[in-house]
């Protein structure tokens, strides 16, 4: 069943839509939540909350890409749970990925004092749009999906060392791009 049909089922308030979402995107949702949380119970809770979020938000929303819409919800719920779980402790996978980007993006109070967060997001999206597909996949798999270097290497067919080097260069290019757009880094 394609995404348009699933969205139509959601508009019709058919519970079959949730079954279709689960069968089509369940593994992706659990992988995304698992990369952030690393705990099966928390992953299941977040994915179920995401399904509920989709049920409650469609209608009135009609997303162009159900997968992207669902991933955004899963990621946001997982990050919220991650922050709650690690309020006073450190978690390796997600924490390491975010620390890598720390030197590239400005501190939140600097961004807020200079521009709205949406403008920063727009600038990062423009930067990503200029990248070759492989570089964009490497960047997104690391910083959106929180995949390990090993997983990215297996997905793209390049070595782990090459993934590491690409990410270092991409962070540097992103930093330079944001500076050129007037962001304080």
Number of domains forming the structure of the chain: 2
Q: Identify the CATH number of the domain in which residue 119 sits.
A: 1.10.10.10
Residues 62 and 117 in one domain: no
Instruction: Specify burial of residue 168 (Cβ count, 10 A radius: 0-12, 13-18, 19+).
Output: exposed
Q: Over the range 48-75, which residues count as b (16 or more CB within 10 Å of their CB) and which as e? A: ebbbebbeeebeeeeeeebeebbbbbbb
Q: Identify the CATH number of the domain in which residue 66 sits.
A: 1.10.1740.10
- Would you state the pLDDT for residue 95? 63
The answer to whether 151 and 141 have CB atoms below 8 angstroms apart is yes
What residue numbers bound the domain in which 129 lies? 92-180
Residues 98 and 151 in one domain: yes
The answer to whether 60 and 18 have CB atoms below 8 angstroms apart is no
The answer to whether 33 and 43 have CB atoms below 8 angstroms apart is yes
From 85, 104, 132, the end of a domain falls on 85
Residues 74 and 126 in one domain: no
Q: pLDDT tens track of the chain, all 185 residues?
A: 899 999 999 999 999 999 999 999 999 999 999 989 888 999 999 999 999 999 999 999 999 999 999 999 999 999 999 888 877 555 556 666 666 666 565 555 544 444 456 777 788 889 999 999 999 999 999 988 889 999 999 999 999 999 999 999 999 999 999 888 887 77
Single pTM value for the model: 0.68
For residue 1, CA distances in Å to 19, 71, 100 come to 11, 18, 39
């Amino acid at each position: 069943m394609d995404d348009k049909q699933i969205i139509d089922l959601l508009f019709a308030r058919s519970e079959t839509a949730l079954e279709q979402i689960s069968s089509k995107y369940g593994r992706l949702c659990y992988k995304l939540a698992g990369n952030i949380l690393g705990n099966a119970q928390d992953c299941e809770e977040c994915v179920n909350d995401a399904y509920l979020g989709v049920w409650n938000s469609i209608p009135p929303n009609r997303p162009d890409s159900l997968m992207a819409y669902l991933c955004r919800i899963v990621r946001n719920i997982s990050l919220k749970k991650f922050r709650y779980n690690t309020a006073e402790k450190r978690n390796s996978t997600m924490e390491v990925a975010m620390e890598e980007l720390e030197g590239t993006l400005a501190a939140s109070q600097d961004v807020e004092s200079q521009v709205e967060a949406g403008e920063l997001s727009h600038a990062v999206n423009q930067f990503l749009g200029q990248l070759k597909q492989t570089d964009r996949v490497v960047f997104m798999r690391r910083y959106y999906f929180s995949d390990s270097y090993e997983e990215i290497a297996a997905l793209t067919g390049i070595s782990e060392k090459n993934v590491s080097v690409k990410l270092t260069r991409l962070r540097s290019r992103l930093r330079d791009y944001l500076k050129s757009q007037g962001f304080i880094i």
